[in-house]
Amino acid sequence: MSYRLRNHPFRVRSQRGDVLIITLICLVIMLIASIALSRSSTNTLLQAGNFAFRSDLSNQGERAMAQAVYLLQSGSLASSTVRQSNQTAYNYSASQLSTNDQGIPSVLVSDSSYSTAGFAQTDFSDSSAGVTIRTVIDRQCSSTGAPTSSTCVYYVPDSSTALTGTARLKRVQSSGVPTYRITVRVTGPRNTQIFQQMIVGL
């Protein structure tokens, strides 16, 4: 019996490009992941920088606050007679200023309102560092003139009853002293801005 060998040529299997498609998909995924990581790192650096700016501005605001207290206690506004009228040269109002929903005087929120009110005193301005500090003091009274218990919010420094917090603020109290609100606005780099407030009784 004889066998006849048939020639079977090798058939080259066509390559359909599956590996190439998978590789491209992996590259796209890696590209998206790298972009997300880059954005995350950038946002983290920006947040850290803003936090550092805010900390520095808080320290700047404390300095302005101490200066305003000195102005009321020992400076140009130390006289109770002087404090009965507006003193725009020292950013002082003898009557309570209008505020926004957060309790910030409107003259500090807007630069135009600040100029319209006649307040031109700027505590500190450093163009190279991009820091500007403004302070406004307003007496917590409904009108100018001599303070009375019916028109002003009074502070009770001494009382037989232990009072704390806002309980010491009395509108009808002949033995108290008028209160003054000090508001500081500090503007820094990257449009960072903080506000600080303090109530003092004199």
Cβ neighbours of residue 165 under 8 Å, at least 6 residues apart?
A: none
SS3 159: coil
Question: pLDDT tens digits for the chain (202 residues)?
Answer: 555 555 555 555 555 667 778 888 888 888 888 787 777 666 665 666 666 666 777 888 888 898 899 999 998 999 999 999 999 889 999 999 999 988 899 999 888 888 888 887 777 777 777 788 899 999 999 999 999 888 898 887 655 554 444 444 444 444 678 999 999 998 887 777 889 999 998 8
Strands 193-201 and 169-170, how do they pair?
Answer: unpaired
Query: Contact 83/92 with Cβ under 8 angstroms?
Result: yes
Q: Where are the domains of the chain?
A: 18-201
Place of tokens 């890696």: 30
pTM confidence score: 0.67
